[in-house]
Amino acid sequence: MTAAGDSSRPQMRGAVRVLHDILDALRGDAANAELLDEKQTAILGDVVDRLDERAFGFLLLLLALPCCLPFIYILPQIVALPMLALGWQLATGARHPWLPKKLNERSFSVSAFQGVLARAEKYVGWVERFATPRLAPVTGRLGLRFIGALMLIPIASILTPLPSTNTVPGIGVAIAALGLIERDGVLVILGLLIGFIWVFLLVFLGAEAVSLIRGWLGI
């Protein structure tokens, strides 16, 4: 990170700052963001290599950001696959993320990543203002296994290629991921509650819709 890059974003902290540092490293020239080649790509493994010991939280946040934005299709279903892998690894007690070779080498557009980060950072920064280490057992070794298992449910909703199945669960996973990064058990629980409530509503309303259709058809 250059000195110019540091002075241009004095208010950034936490996950937002780290994600911008990763973007700068992937881009290779933080001082000339406007010259970024739209065809420039990076691979997911490059991001993993630049993360610290909170890599699970950072990776889940990074992958959840595109899911949080409305009217984005296909991409949420693509990133949900590595998210499922990360959730499963947390549930099984893994200390560091591992991705299969195909996922590790999956490429993405650096300019698209920059656009997603620009659109999402104000919301991430707003949540981070309330983040502080608390409820330590939630982000402890045993708690992380439980959290990883619970995350699989909202992530599975993101994977479903239907309208309204990715935005709210994506927000829930992103908030939970921020909680993991900041070691804030309250944020983790809040994120999971958001995801679970939305999945419950989708299932409940879906069942009601099926019941109504069957009634109309006399089945």
Residues 147-163 have pLDDT tens digits of 999 999 999 888 876 66
End-to-end CA distance of the chain: 65
Residue 191 is predicted with a pLDDT of 93
- Of the two residues 36 and 39, the one the predictor is more confident about is 39
pLDDT at 33 over 50: no
Q: Are 128 and 15 in contact (CB under 8 A)?
A: yes
**Mean per-residue pLDDT of the chain:** 75
Residues 193-205 have pLDDT tens digits of 999 988 888 777 6
Residue 145 is predicted with a pLDDT of 92
- Of the two residues 183 and 77, the one the predictor is more confident about is 183
Residue 162 is predicted with a pLDDT of 67
Residues 46-100 have pLDDT tens digits of 777 777 667 888 888 888 887 877 666 667 777 888 889 899 999 998 888 887 7
Q: In 3-state terms, what secondary structure has residue 21?
A: helix
Q: Provide the b/e sequence for 176-213 (b: ≥16 CB within 10 Å).
A: bbbbbbbbbbebbbbbbebbbebbeebeeeeeeeeeee
pLDDT at 109 over 70: yes
Give me the domain span that covers residue 166: 3-217
Total structural domains within the chain: 1
Alpha carbons 17 and 14: distance in angstroms, whole number: 6
